Amino acid sequence: MDRTYSFDHYRPLASADEAVKAYGSDPDAAESGAHGDGYLAAIACGFDHLPQMVVVVRRSSCDGYVNARWVDHIGLTSCESGWNNWSQFVHPADQPAILSAFSAHPRAAPLECRIRHRDGSYNWFLASVQCVEFGGAVYDQVVFTDIDDQVAMRTRILADAAQRDHMLDASMDCIKIINLDGSLRHMNLSGCIALGVPVDETEFGMDWSALLPADLRSRSRAAVKSAARGQTVRFSGTTQLAGEAEQHWDNLLTPLKDEAGKPTAILCVSRDVTIQQEAEDRLRELGEIDSLTGLLNRRAFYNRLKRVLRKARGQASNVGMILIDLDHFKHVNDTIGHGAGDHLLRVFSRRMVRSVIAARTGNQPIYFARLGGDEFAILLENVSSVAEMTALATVAKQQMQAPILHSGGSVNGDLSAGCALYPRDAANASDLMRCADTALNDMKLTGRGGVRVFNVHMAHAAETVARQLRRARNLVADDLIEPYYQPQLQLDGLTICGFEALLRWRDGAGRIQGPAAITEAFRNFELATQVGGRMQERVFADIASWRARGLAVQPIAINVAPVEFLADDFAESFLARLRHYAIPHNLIEVEVTEHALVERGAEHVIRALKKFKAAGIRIMLDDFGVGQSALVHLTDYPVDGIKIDRSFIKEMTQGGPHHAIVKTLVELGPALSLSVIAEGIEGSDQLAALRRIGCHVGQGFLFDPALEPEKAIQSLGQVYSG
């Protein structure tokens, strides 16, 4: 049976007698053996079967022995001559150590060496040298165990480890292997530099937390404990070596686990995030400052306001809020240019800050902000009275009244201000700003150019607004909005030539209500967009239904609130709905009021109207004659007709200016290729007067109020009486 040997199975023999006994020979009989040496004859048979190479040399003699494994490895033809020059086959670099081992007594420690193969290459062996006494003679015996594969593997492992170390040292991150008790097992070059450990350190073993600043040690130890329990932990901190700048670090601790999932060590990667932190701090600062004026922006101001109110609540002190709006600032941009407008904002900001700080006594904290556009805010801590607050608002107002030079000319202006006091008017930040805004709006509605302090009457008005907004939201949420249709008639034959879609909704008692109860919704972008969208969907669905029934549908006019145009895609969304319901564009008219063309955001209105015009949708200017009427609107904007406001129709039969105005508008329409519709016809005398001056189309209660969809379509073909 074959027997497999390994170095682990080979045990050096302490004596010749043991060697003889182990290999089955008698020492006395062996003295006459083939080798002429009793010991050599005794071991020859056994050693030739070993997987190891064996060399035996008798001291002070020419006798020796090498086994068959040695002969085969180095390529000898005979065992007889292989022993006397055996050391020549040892790699030159290893020969001194091997020969030295021969002189050691009683036996040298095993050592590694390389033995030349018959093909000229070298293989690694583990050489075990021992001295044996037999029959008065001394023998040096070397057993070579093949470890070439193990050495190659070890070399690869060491090379891989060195490569990993080089890779880790090349990383800018501080990479550490930490024992579960918090001691360092290994750390790369960056880690050593960051923590002040000698870069040639190889032993480590020191407590990682002890290398960190004192304020980080408790957090780092807690992180190690959590990672030792199998959790991934992250914490940040700063370090500063002597003479170096402060560094910000992000530390990520990940447990290293065995096959059973039990943590055995901790990988800690610490990344220098100083540049990132500085950039974030800078961005945070930039994110809080208005780039044009250098004042706080809206978000930063609101956060500051909340902190100031918390402080005031603890100190039982007053806080003053002043909101400022520059009057007719849009006119500056439109007439002189945005460069002049920006210059005005910068100069006013500097003047306001300097003058208000100088005017306030007691060196109390003041915060200034540009909330957006031409809107500013001043926050006053420890306000003594309402009078102090209004006095400072007046000081700010005076800075706007003083001329501001620009490009060789001067820009004059004014401002309106609204004031509110904490805790008298409001208990929190949002309410305080709302109260100041309510006072500001009240000032703007009554003429601008002044300072107004919030009072309870304004609160009632604000509650009315809030109530209308809540009602509108409920109508949208409950889908209670529905269109009614008021006929538009040819005044000569009193036959229907179109309809105006009017918003209606039912209250809790089932009564039909008009839009007056939700007027504020049409000043709110979000709500106006939702309400308008519902109206469009319902009107288009009605038209599609009527066309499917084969009815001769007349054009339908739809009112659009100015704020709806502020959506960049308003016209596109409107046209998309038409495509969805397959409505021909000539069946739709869009009605827009005059002030939509002159208010802030008019450019959005004009853009949408041009898209409608290009799509073949007629545009009517509603309520013409009231508000900021101007003939330029009829020539410069893409309108197809005007609707004379009902207030003129109501008074035209009394003669005087109203009749003249209506007559002029009716005559002006054809001259400008515009259609004219008279609104609010309620009496036969009004109808007759309109016919006499040549007005051809009108609508009003004289004919019909707004009708529900089915009744409206039934009125088609009807001839009305005047």
- β-strand 556-559 against 588-593: which pairing, if any? parallel
Angle at the Cα of 424 (from 420 to 425), degrees rounded to 5? 45
Domain 171-277: give its CATH superfamily. Answer: PAS domain (3.30.450.20)
d(CA 104, CA 101): 5
| Per-residue confidence (pLDDT) for residue 491, from 0 to 100 | 95
- For 588-608, write each residue's pLDDT tens digit: 999 998 776 666 567 788 889
pLDDT band at 402 (very low <50, low <70, confident <90, very high): confident
pLDDT band at 78 (very low <50, low <70, confident <90, very high): low
d(CA 700, CA 698): 7
pLDDT band at 37 (very low <50, low <70, confident <90, very high): low
Q: Is a pLDDT exceeding 70 seen at residue 477?
A: yes
| Per-residue confidence (pLDDT) for residue 24, from 0 to 100 | 36
d(CA 466, CA 345): 32
Whether residue 648 contacts residue 629, with contact meaning beta carbons closer than 8 Å, is answered with: no
d(CA 190, CA 172): 6
Distances (CA, A) of 559 to 5, 351, 538, 569: 102, 45, 13, 17
CATH code for residues 294-454: 3.30.70.270
Average pLDDT of the chain to the nearest whole number: 85
pTM for this prediction: 0.49
Q: How many residues does the chain have?
A: 722
Q: Is a pLDDT exceeding 50 seen at residue 20?
A: no
Identify the weakest region by mean pLDDT among 189-198, 206-215, 362-371.
189-198
Structure tokens at 507: 């209250």
Q: Where are the beta strands (DSSP E) in 259-352?
A: 263-272, 319-326
The strand pairing partners of 698, in sequence order, are 489, 678
CB atoms inside a 10 Å sphere around CB 466: 12
Burial of 433 (0-12, 13-18, 19+ CB in 10 A): buried
Percent of the chain with pLDDT over 90: 48
| Per-residue confidence (pLDDT) for residue 7, from 0 to 100 | 30
| Per-residue confidence (pLDDT) for residue 635, from 0 to 100 | 72
Structure tokens at 661: 């105005």
| Per-residue confidence (pLDDT) for residue 32, from 0 to 100 | 38
Q: Is a pLDDT exceeding 60 seen at residue 12?
A: no
Domain 469-714 CATH assignment equals 3.20.20.450 = yes
Give the H/E segment covering residue 143: strand 137-146
Q: Which residue has the higher pLDDT, 281 or 26?
A: 281
Range picked from 63-72, 159-168, 419-428 for highest mean pLDDT: 419-428
Torsions phi, psi for 445 (to 5 deg): -70, -20
d(CA 394, CA 331): 23
Q: Do domains 16-151 and 171-277 have the same CATH topology?
A: yes
Architecture of domain 16-151: 2-Layer Sandwich (3.30)
pLDDT band at 637 (very low <50, low <70, confident <90, very high): confident
| Per-residue confidence (pLDDT) for residue 704, from 0 to 100 | 92
- For 661-687, write each residue's pLDDT tens digit: 999 999 988 988 999 999 999 999 999
Handedness of CA 423, 425, 430, 433 (dihedral sign): negative
Selection from 712, 620, 721 nearest residue 675 by Cα: 620
Handedness of CA 493, 497, 502, 507 (dihedral sign): positive
Q: Is a pLDDT exceeding 80 seen at residue 476?
A: yes
Tokens 């060697």 locate to 19
Domain boundary assignment for the chain: 16-151, 171-277, 294-454, 469-714
| Per-residue confidence (pLDDT) for residue 286, from 0 to 100 | 73
- For 241-299, write each residue's pLDDT tens digit: 777 788 888 899 999 998 899 999 999 998 888 888 888 777 777 778 888 999 999 98
Distance spanning both ends of the chain, measured CA to CA: 130
Structure tokens at 567: 């959506």
Identify the weakest region by mean pLDDT among 48-52, 71-75, 330-334, 401-405.
330-334
Q: Is a pLDDT exceeding 90 seen at residue 31?
A: no
DSSP 88: G
Q: Three-state SS for 59?
A: coil
Tokens 């070439």 locate to 148
Q: Is a pLDDT exceeding 70 seen at residue 161?
A: no
d(CA 275, CA 316): 42
Q: Is a pLDDT exceeding 70 seen at residue 533?
A: yes
d(CA 46, CA 18): 12
